[in-house]
Chains A and B, each alone.
Chain A
Amino acid sequence: NAGVTQTPKFQVLKTGQSMTLQCAQDMNHEYMSWYRQDPGMGLRLIHYSVGAGITDQGEVPNGYNVSRSTTEDFPLRLLSAAPSQTSVYFCASSYSGSGLNSPLHFGNGTRLTVT
């Protein structure tokens, strides 16, 4: 199993550009989520999904869109990038149960810079 795979690892965008951060997992996990990590901050939840076709907002959803058409994939879209979106983005997944029986598995992150 590859686990949680995020692409790309690094990305530089100009203000106003759009892009999609990809996240895929091969563990048949129902739950997937996106976090951002800023310097001096912990991870903050952007969006999450409890299953295909179901998404919801986290703590910092503004400027981001998500969809969940398959169990495996959970892309994060930036429609019009802003410098404030410069961050490291993590995708995570779990089977269920808050890590009790299946821990939250994280991808290796995408470092995004918006100039």
Chain B
Amino acid sequence: AQTVTQSQPEMSVQEAETVTLSCTYDTSESDYYLFWYKQPPSRQMILVIRQEAYKQQNATENRFSVNFQKAAKSFSLKISDSQLGDAAMYFCAYDQGGSEKLVFGKGTKLTVNP
């Protein structure tokens, strides 16, 4: 079974600084998708960014970008110019071949200090 590992239970960053959240996954498949979700205290799950495994180019969404290293099975999230509203739990998730059955990591709690 596929597994997703987030090795940083908690991270903190100063406002306006850059932070990188780590994620590794285990799979023997070649067709899959990777996601980062944000969960603020409101409990809502918000899609931050997604990456198709067949694409070599790293996905970018405004201040959020990923470093996708397929051979190393690594999928880190970089948040630039951190804002107070970025404080949340961040979950890395894996989807095998469009099956819609996501496997989530345990999450990283991000604190943004003013």
**CB-contact partner of A108 in B44, B99, B104, B105, under 8 A:** B44
Given A40-B106, A41-B106, A98 contacting B43 (CB threshold 8 A): no
Mark contacts of A84-114 with chain B using CB atoms, 8 A cut-off: 1 yes-contact digit, 0 otherwise: 0000101010101111100110101100000
Query: Which interface class (under 10, 10 to 19, 20 to 34, 35 or more) fits A?
Result: 20 to 34
**CB-contact partner of A42 in B33, B42, B97, B106, under 8 A:** B106
The B83-114 residues at the A interface (CB cut-off 8 A) are 91, 93, 95, 97-107
Query: Which interface class (under 10, 10 to 19, 20 to 34, 35 or more) fits B?
Result: 20 to 34
Whether B100 pairs with A42 at a CB distance below 8 angstroms is: no
Whether A42 pairs with B52 at a CB distance below 8 angstroms is: no
> Distance in Å from the Cβ of A56 to the closest Cβ of chain B?
9
B interface residues with partner A (beta carbon < 8 Å): 4, 33, 35, 42-45, 47, 50, 52, 91, 93, 95, 97-107
A interface residues with partner B (beta carbon < 8 Å): 31, 33, 35, 40-45, 48, 50, 58-59, 88, 90, 92, 94, 96-100, 103-104, 106, 108-109
**A42-B107, A108-B43 known; 12 other A-B pairs, CB under 8 Å?**
A35-B102, A41-B106, A42-B105, A43-B45, A43-B93, A92-B45, A96-B100, A98-B98, A98-B99, A99-B35, A103-B47, A109-B44
